[in-house]
Structure 1
Amino acid sequence: MNLDRRALLTKGFTGAIGLVASSSALATNPDFQFVMPPRAGADPLGPQPAAPAGIDPQLFAKAKAALDRHAARIADREWLGIVDYNKRSDQERFSLVHLPSGTVEQFRVTHGRGSDRNHNGYLDHFSNQVGSLATSNGAYLTANRYHGKYGLSAKLHGLDWTNSNAFNRAIVMHHAWYAEPDMLSQHGKLGRSEGCFAFARRDHWHIMNRLGEGRLIYADKTA
């Protein structure tokens, strides 16, 4: 019995020496990289990319997920529009993001009158119903341009169940007098659309030049 125990102890001690030697060899190997196992609850994909400055990280993550989810329908991923409807209409809440560089330009944009029943400048709810005059949340695909009531405009397709009626509701991008900066000095907020994304004329032209047909706009709020 004592001999067996001595043999087992000797074998275990020899194995430990081998393990230490093997570890030392790996540590001196320039190609060896020791990877710590993930902590409990850690994201297996590792840290996620931070949002560009000025954009809510949660909203940016939702927009990027939509970009991937609808990739088959998106012709160009260079520019992305993100609308943060947590913000009041007097704030620059439409972010035009250049994804390769991470640069951001921000503009004011309206929301629908059906989403702001107290006309206090805040969007209080979304609706996808025809006739609601409200803003719908979700991913939008920019479609063909046309000349309408407000001049050059762009049609939009709703890609999610929350905004699937956008095209039938004629939800578009256009400029409007009630989105001009002088509305702020007069009323402290922008006017309301019928669910469309309305901009000041100068901003509208710039955005239209960046978000041509086949680009994504993501509109939502996180609170």
Structure 2
Amino acid sequence: MITRFFNPILLLILSSLALFSSPARATDTDLNDKRQYEFEYRVQQVYTTFGLEGKLNYTAFRQAYIGYLNLAKEGALRPGAPLTVIDFSLPSSQKRLYVIDMVQRRLVLHTYTSHGQGSGADLAKKFSNTPDSHMSSIGFYVTAETYQGKHGYSLRLDGMDKGYNDNARRRAVVMHGADYVSEAFIQKVGRLGRSYGCPAMSWEVYQQVIDKIKGGSCLFIYYNDANYLSQSRYLQLERILATDSETLAITRP
């Protein structure tokens, strides 16, 4: 299996081992190594060209980018759909929701978002896919339809990672505005308020965010969870390396 993270030393070792393999096997290894090198270079290019350095954690972006391409390959995203990343390695007192316009090739929105009551105080540390857990769920989502609910204008989410967030609809995990998401709340309490698992936003930006990402875009809620990272089908880099050039060209710098 190809490693999930670019490692020049590993590539050198693999290339050396290939010299002792059969010609056909060596060619396959060389091709895979070349594709991975090119892919990692592309991710770095996109990250830099889109102006994400110093704003969005590179590891979080890289994983989100892989999932975005895998979802696009499956036809789950509308053409030109934005990529939204929520970085739950950051505390709620920091802006950790990022909306990236893949057509304009830049970060267009960067704001606060809440996590679930059961996930932690300022930092989210526990996650669940279980109804009534009041925890957030990590992984990849595809944004769906909007509706008017108890929180007003809201956005439904379809969790794509089985066992991690695929109960999102059943749990009514949606995006909406909330009084407890604001800088004033942070100054008073030291952190944001918490939801029942929804990534809630401030009243100042929630409608703008929802209007931008609704209807078939990719949302990735990132956390460094070893089990999830090894199990999510959308983080399988091998699927991207074997894909056609048109899919890889979606976000070509």
Give the deviation of 1:44 after TM superposition: 2.3
Deviates more, 1:71-80 or 1:182-191: 71-80
| Aligned position for 2:235 | none
Give the deviation of 1:110 after TM superposition: 0.1
| Aligned position for 1:44 | 34
CA distance in 1, matches of 2:219, 2:193: 21
| Aligned position for 2:115 | 111
Q: Which has the larger radius of gyration?
A: 1
| Aligned position for 1:29 | none
Whichever residue aligns with residue 92 of structure 1, its letter is K
| Aligned position for 1:144 | 145
Matches for 1:1-223 after TM superposition, within 5 Å:
39-41=12-14, 43-45=33-35, 46=37, 47-50=41-44, 51=47, 52-53=52-53, 54-71=55-72, 72-104=75-107, 105-116=109-120, 119=121, 121-161=122-162, 162-222=164-224
| Aligned position for 1:7 | none
Whichever residue aligns with residue 210 of structure 1, its letter is K
Give the deviation of 1:208 after TM superposition: 1.3
CA distance in 1, matches of 2:80, 2:132: 32
Whichever residue aligns with residue 160 of structure 1, its letter is D
CA distance in 1, matches of 2:81, 2:216: 11
CA distance in 1, matches of 2:79, 2:195: 28
Pair 184,83 (structure 1): closer, same or farther in 2 beyond 3 Å: same
Deviations 1:43-83 (A, max 9, x none): 52222422322111111111111112222111144311100
Query: Runs of 5+ in structure 1 lacking a partner?
Result: 1-37
Whichever residue aligns with residue 13 of structure 2, its letter is A
Whichever residue aligns with residue 166 of structure 1, its letter is A
Using the size of structure 1 for normalisation, the TM-score is: 0.77
Give the deviation of 1:124 after TM superposition: 0.8
Query: Runs of 5+ in structure 2 lacking a partner?
Result: 1-10, 16-32, 226-253
Check conservation: 1:139, 1:158, Cα contact below 8 A: yes
Aligned residues: 183
Whichever residue aligns with residue 147 of structure 2, its letter is Y
CA distance in 2, matches of 1:76, 1:219: 21
Give the deviation of 1:181 after TM superposition: 2.2
CA distance in 2, matches of 1:176, 1:143: 20
Whichever residue aligns with residue 39 of structure 1, its letter is L
Check conservation: 1:175, 1:200, Cα contact below 8 A: yes
CA RMSD of aligned residues (A): 1.7
CA distance in 2, matches of 1:77, 1:194: 31
Give the deviation of 1:41 after TM superposition: 4.8
**SS of equivalent to 2:171:** coil
Check conservation: 1:58, 1:222, Cα contact below 8 A: no
Whichever structure has more strand as a proportion of its residues is 1
Using the size of structure 2 for normalisation, the TM-score is: 0.68
**SS of equivalent to 1:178:** coil
